[in-house]
Amino acid sequence: MPAKKHHRDRRGFRSYLWITGIVLVFAIGARVAVYKRSAAIVSTVAAATETDGAASPASVDTADPTPDTSAQKLKGVSFQKTVPNTSTVPKIAPSGMTWIPGGEFSMGAQDAAAMNDVGMKATVDSRPIHRVYVDGFFMDKTDVTNAQFEKFVKATNYVTIAERKPRAEEYPNAPPENLVAGSVVFAPPDHPVPLNDYLQWWNYIPGANWRHPLGPKSSIVGKGNYPVVQIAYDDAVAYAKWAGKRLPTEAEWEFAARGGLSGKPYVWGDEFRPHGKWMANTNQGHFPDDDTGADGHVGIAPVAQFTPNGYGLYDMAGNVWQWTSDWYRPDYYAQLERDGVARNPQGPNSSYDPSEPGSATKVHRGGSFLCTDQYCSRYMVGTRGKGAVDTGTNHLGFRCVATADTRKASGGNPGNHGQ
């Protein structure tokens, strides 16, 4: 595919190289941005290239549309019954995928019982609850794995954004030693720290990428069944196109995650640990310094280690965040509610992230192994994450969907490439 140069207003972690020192990164849920502590501010610039289907810098908005999040406005939310389509289920499913019937459902986040302020803050941009209809589609049963992504890379010689060295002409004020390929890595401190400084547990690590998710000394050898991470949005789009699939819309993702249930705080039901059973890979212990691994996993886990939801999908909560195709705006749900039942919504026309105006930001869903009610409870179904399109992390992956259109484009047989 021909490469296209980005506009300078498209921001992400590669848009903030320090003039001196290293790059540090913060993440609240899935939102990752890079800040520097030196006095001089490096001009906002773009990542080097984008693939077809990548985010358009013209879709960035700078007007503040932040919704009213007062208690008055958040009262009265309610869920109605999910009404699945009754159309005939396709006889043959693409390999590794399952049929999601689609239908009409209530979209948004429910209050979890006894949820603290952290949890409630996680639901603010997931209001108001509104009715949405989506057509049926196939969805990957699991997140895309290292083995699947490696097959794609071998077939196409694709180079991910994290593997591309920033170019000097795009960062004229940065010293050459800072112009190194790398990515964002969670680096837990060895002692408890206040939760008001996220720079204490996120670092930009030179040499970190999908093959070396924690840095150059790490490896995915022997981890073919782990979800691939350190994937920017354009990387996920490129894989999906090769596999004859696409990324899900936010509405498709949530319909699938709910598994036929309505108004439940978790993809499996009402209780976080029904009968004491762990249902997802999340953070236990003390965040960010100590994950006890009580759920059987410290950090990232292989795919499909927990019970699937009602549609047979694994890891729709926890383990790694997942890209969707929707631009992020905190006021988008209010826009949809005004128009009645939204049919196959494709997301807003522009992106706006109040924490970083001017950033090209897409919606993440599902939460990760870092989520905890101490800091980020976005394993709750309906809650939303967000991230700059040129930014990958070691807790961010993706899965794909296939529809009649993608099946036609791939010769009627999507999924073969990706298996």
pTM of the full structure: 0.83
What is the predicted pLDDT for the residue at 89?
87
**Alpha helices for 80-176 (secondary structure H):** 117-123, 146-156
Q: Indicate the residue type of 100.
A: I
Give the tokens for residue 235: 């990387």
The answer to whether residue 16 scores a pLDDT higher than 90 is no
Q: Which of 160-164, 171-175, 344-348 has the lowest mean pLDDT?
A: 171-175
In angstroms, rounded to a whole number, what is the distance separating the alpha carbons of residues 194 and 202? 14
Quickly state the pLDDT bin for 386 (edges 50, 70, 90).
very high
The CA R_g of the chain, rounded to the nearest whole Å, is: 20
The pLDDT tens digits for 195-244 are 877 788 888 899 999 999 999 999 999 999 999 999 999 999 999 999 99
pLDDT band at 271 (very low <50, low <70, confident <90, very high): very high
Angle (deg, nearest 10), helices 233-242 and 146-156: 80
What's 2's DSSP letter? -
Answer whether residue 360 shows pLDDT above 80.
yes
Would you say residue 284 has pLDDT above 80?
A: yes
- Burial class for 352, CB neighbours closer than 10 Å (0-12, 13-18, 19+): buried
- The total of other beta-carbon atoms located within 10 Å of residue 7's CB is 13
Query: Which SS3 state, helix, strand or coil, does residue 251 take?
Result: helix
| Number of C-beta neighbours around residue 355 at 10 A | 12
Does any domain span residue 58?
Answer: no
Q: Please give the structure tokens belonging to residue 25.
A: 């990164």
Residue-level pLDDT at 122: 72
- Separation of alpha carbons 9 and 352, rounded Å: 12
Residue 173 near residue 180 (C-beta atoms within 8 A): no
196 in a domain, yes or no?
Answer: no
Are the beta carbons of 181 and 206 closer than 8 angstroms?
yes
Q: Measured between alpha carbons, how far is 280 from 307 in angstroms, rounded to an integer?
A: 8
Residue 372's pLDDT is: 86
Tens-digit pLDDT profile for residues 344-353: 999 999 999 9
> Is residue 34 over pLDDT 60?
no
User: Is 298 a domain residue?
Assistant: yes
Instruction: For residue range 96-126, list pLDDT tens digits in order.
Output: 999 999 999 999 987 655 554 555 567 788 9
Angle at 25 between CA 21 and CA 27, to 5 degrees: 170
Work out the average pLDDT over 305-322.
Answer: 97
Residue 10 in any domain: the answer is no
Residue 307: pLDDT over 50? yes
Task: Return the pLDDT at 5.
Answer: 33
The rounded distance, in Å, linking the Cα atoms of 6 and 327 is 17
Statement: residue 180 has pLDDT above 60: yes
Q: Is the pLDDT of residue 402 over 70?
A: yes
Q: What is the CATH number of the domain that holds 82?
A: 3.90.1580.10
pLDDT of residue 365: 97
> What kind and span of H or E run contains 407?
helix 404-409
Give the mean pLDDT of 31-47: 26
Choose the most confident range, by mean pLDDT, from 4-18, 19-33, 51-65, 84-98.
84-98
Per-residue pLDDT, 375: 83
Answer whether residue 66 is part of any domain.
no
What integer best gives the mean pLDDT of the chain?
80
pLDDT at 412 > cutoff 90: no
pLDDT grade for 81, boundaries at 50, 70 and 90: very high
43, part of any domain: no
User: How many structural domains comprise the chain?
Assistant: 1
Q: Does residue 120 fall inside a structural domain?
A: yes
Helices (H) and strands (E) in the chain, counts: 7, 17
Amino acid at 93: A
CA-to-CA distance for 157 and 162, rounded, in angstroms?
15
Read off the pLDDT of residues 42-80 as tens digits, 9 standing for 90 and up. Answer: 222 222 222 334 444 446 665 666 555 443 344 445 889
β partners of residue 343:
133
Domain that holds residue 250: 71-162+223-409
Q: Is residue 46 in a domain?
A: no
408 band by pLDDT with thresholds 50, 70 and 90: low
